[in-house]
Structure 1
Amino acid sequence: MTERIADVGRGISLAYEEIGTGEPLVLVAGLGQQLHSWPTAFCEELAARGYRVIRFDNRDAGRSTHMRFRPPRPGAILLRQWPAEQYDLTDMATDTIGLLDALDLADTHIAGVSMGGMIAQTVAALRPERVRTLTSIMSNTGARKAGRPALSTWLLMGGKPARTRAEAEDRAVRIFRHIGSHGFPFDEAAVRELAGSGWDRDPSPAGVGRQLAAIFRSGDRTSRLRAITAPTLVIHGDRDRMVHPTGGAATARAIGGARLETIPGMGHDLPKGAWPRLLDLIDDHARQRSEDATI
């Protein structure tokens, strides 16, 4: 497992890692998250089931290209006043497709968490021939009345950004105690380790603001999702305070033939206690498509 950099076009480079061999499975990270937000042990479990797992940093995160413009302020986002350089989810999906090109992958299974689910959905809508299966986890359609964060979550997320590694760890603990999976044990040590390594790779908070603006600029994507033809699995927890479970239900309704699976007790994270169910769901979904393709 070696971190590499791929030129994906349009002046964007993405940092990525590959684990295992077999059918390609691309994992897309969420808002402000980096490639290691897909835990290494989780990826190794997928690799052991026969997948070539590819995880990467989106633009404006980790060691991928960071844009240079100032992110819009919250008031400007609400008024839909964007800097001329502001990108959207289509641009981020195009980055992902560029990564497939760089890795010479004609098509792939793709799974995304939260904003990563939105990006994965957009890849499947833009380039259906490139997606074998789609798994959208704790994500939404962008519709105003579905999948919205709780007010308490908005207030917590609006706090001042961390200025040190220790502050980044403390902030992550506060946030994930709130939005995490209350039906599973809270692993504070793992949260601190993830936040600390994230700070070491990329301490800049500006990328999060630009990514958040990309979500808002993309608006309601429901009509676009109706173009998805890939077999689609939607996974959501029933305790999600970041993306309300209505977001998962709306996603499943928008995509023809999509199947919704709800994991009791799961919030807006990937708790170890839910790994067996998550791994089985992702694996079974991908295998069913492969079996159908051979009939």
Structure 2
Amino acid sequence: MTKRPGFPVQLDRVSSSLVRAGSTRTGAQTMPVTKTSVSARAPALQAVASGLGLDSQAVRSRMVEKLRAQGVTDEAVLSAMNQVPRHQFVESALVNQAYEDTSLPIGLGQTISKPNVVARMIELLRAGRSGKLGRVLEIGTGCGYQAAVLSLVATEVYSIERLRGLHDKAKENLRTLRLPNVHLIFADGMIGFPKGAPYAGIISAAGGEQVPQPWLDQLAVGGRLIAPTATAQGQQALVVVERTDTGFQKEVLEAVHFVPLKSGVA
């Protein structure tokens, strides 16, 4: 059995084990996987003033109070949402809507999820646990906002994005926050990231017909997976999968609407 590497892991090249685990192929070419770690020089998340007046703590505090009123009760999640400057992750033309409970376009047909959805999914991932989660795998980095929130409730965050434009945008968005435990990976999220497994939590920002088997394989015993998944009625619903000593327990929750889960990179 190959020994799992220490963390943070150095992944400047594609490992042969990852390719064997199921890289996406187009014709005879294997699509490359690259990894970027956000700067580890500062131990704490530091918001940078934007000059737009939206870096005020009072603005985020009002958003958090709305989340609390909507039923989010996990104080660790609320605290994380209160610290991450969401306005730094949205397009400049939409910055005045950054703290409204709405999804916003981030380019390439993708969106940043509503604050309530982000908080809800991370709360489900934590399942009332005290202290931080262990390693978490995020499928669909997008603009990097959810990865930033996850960094405050997990020891390590591995976030995969299949669209090069968004991967680069997330790197830029997260650079000023200097999060030592966030690792951005440009790769096919459908195969997960076996080099960092097993994960205490896996969270997906895109919905497929079913939960991909590699994600289940990479989930630790006692870990939780949260993903939008198609229902028999052709809609999407949040699905919670927990791995036990004897198998998997699945629970279907409320209806949601996420962008479709796709394979490959672009």
- TM-score normalised by the chain length of structure 1: 0.26
- TM-score normalised by the chain length of structure 2: 0.27
Higher share in helix: 1
Higher share in strand: 2
